[in-house]
Structure 1
Amino acid sequence: MRMSVALETVLARAGLKVTAAEFLTLVEDAARRLAPPHPDPGAYFSSDQREALTEVGVDLTPRSDTDPDPRARAVATQAVLRDTALTVTEAAARLNVDASRVRHRIAAGRLMGWKDRGGWRLPAWQFADGRLLPGVEVVLPAFPPDQPPLVVAAFMTTPQEDLPLGERQATPREWLLAGGDPERVARLASVLGSPA
């Protein structure tokens, strides 16, 4: 009971409109969707690939029970992304358009969304002050089609070296809100997931 109150306090401070029980269900669901808890990284590669990776210093040792679980941050991020996402109806109200227009924009790749229980969910990062994020219709088509919404959201909300804003690096979202060139963000987005 005490943990539930503490969790609800944290969720409220973060602006998440979800109960502790609902949030924990989201976390459990996200954890199930991720990789197994103790993967053997070497099992994903052929013996030649394992040898080559080991030669360049890649550690393919399986995680032990005492190692920190890297999935925890991903699970929490996924739960927040899902909880803050808008339904088609909410997005339509925010944009002051009919719900069919929102679904049309999703189909045309001019809005990002994913199918969830109960319908489409649209990540909140692509909206600002009752409108679409400026330049989002230029940026979204540039993302490689294999990039999931969680990766796209992380990119759009993480400072990028190539997007200076004053004395600091801006996130793509901040860059677009400040009137930055969407083509610059689109170029960065187009190589997301590509080998360096």
Structure 2
Amino acid sequence: MTVALETVLARAGLKVTADEFLSLVEDAANRLTPPQKDPAARFTESERAALTEVGLDLAPYDDGEEDPRARTVAEQAVLWDTALSVAQAADRVGVDTSRIRHRVAARRLIGWKGRGGWRLPAWQFTDNDVLPGLETVLTALPGDQPALVVANFMTTPQEDLAIGDRPVSPREWLMAGGNARRVADLASTIGTPA
């Protein structure tokens, strides 16, 4: 399995050994809630009724069913592995490391503190700078959103952002010179009911 995993990691451009990646996966899985075969068990009778009424399926998982945490764990591991350290971000942007820390503190960059120090998601950088319009977007973004939610939003095509007739991700939109205010308006709705 190690050779197959190393092949997949290399094709995906992830600079991590199979053992390191598996350690990231284990860490991500441990941070999530434990598997729950019966989702309804977490709720009171009235909560179950309300959730079922709006269409949520609270039926117990079958043994053959995929664990819904698996994709999140994999995405979290990739997000962590591709994130930049403060020093890497400073080198990329051409500033001192203290300037990067200041930007994180001022919410002009996002990051999280983990083993080994601060990590900053790579999607918010270009080859030699910060993503154009990022500060406008981050200002509008609800502050309670996890890094993985923000990363998925910024890297997933959105119907409201199109280049030609092709929906693009907010990151791609900003890289192409699109209006940051449009992305900020979309970002401001993350975590709110549809």
Q: Give the TM-score band, short-chain normalised.
A: over 0.9
- Find the aligned partners of 2:192 and 2:42 in 1 and give their Cα distance: 19
SS in 2 for 1:74: helix
Corresponding residue for 2:47? 49
Corresponding residue for 2:25? 27
SS in 1 for 2:160: coil
Paired residues of 1:38 and 1:64 also in contact (CA < 8 A): no
Q: 1:82 Cα shift?
A: 0.1
Q: Residue deviations 1:95-131, cap 9 Å, x none?
A: 1100000000000000000001111000000001211
How many aligned positions are there?
194
Q: 1:9 Cα shift?
A: 1.1
Corresponding residue for 1:86? 84
Which consecutive residues of structure 1, in runs of 5 or more, have no partner in the other structure? none
User: What amino acid maps onto 2:5 in structure 1?
Assistant: L
- Structure 1 residue 128 corresponds to structure 2 residue 116: no
Paired residues of 1:40 and 1:60 also in contact (CA < 8 A): yes
User: What amino acid maps onto 2:184 in structure 1?
Assistant: A
Q: Describe how 1:118-157 pairs up with structure 2 within 5 A.
A: 118-157=116-155
Moved beyond 6 Å, runs of 4+: none
Corresponding residue for 2:176? 178
SS in 1 for 2:30: helix
Corresponding residue for 1:167? 165
- Of all paired residues, the percent bearing the same amino acid is 69
Which consecutive residues of structure 2, in runs of 5 or more, have no partner in the other structure? none
User: What amino acid maps onto 1:114 in structure 2?
Assistant: W
| TM-score, scaled to structure 1 | 0.95
User: What RMSD in Å do the two structures reach over aligned CA positions?
Assistant: 1.2
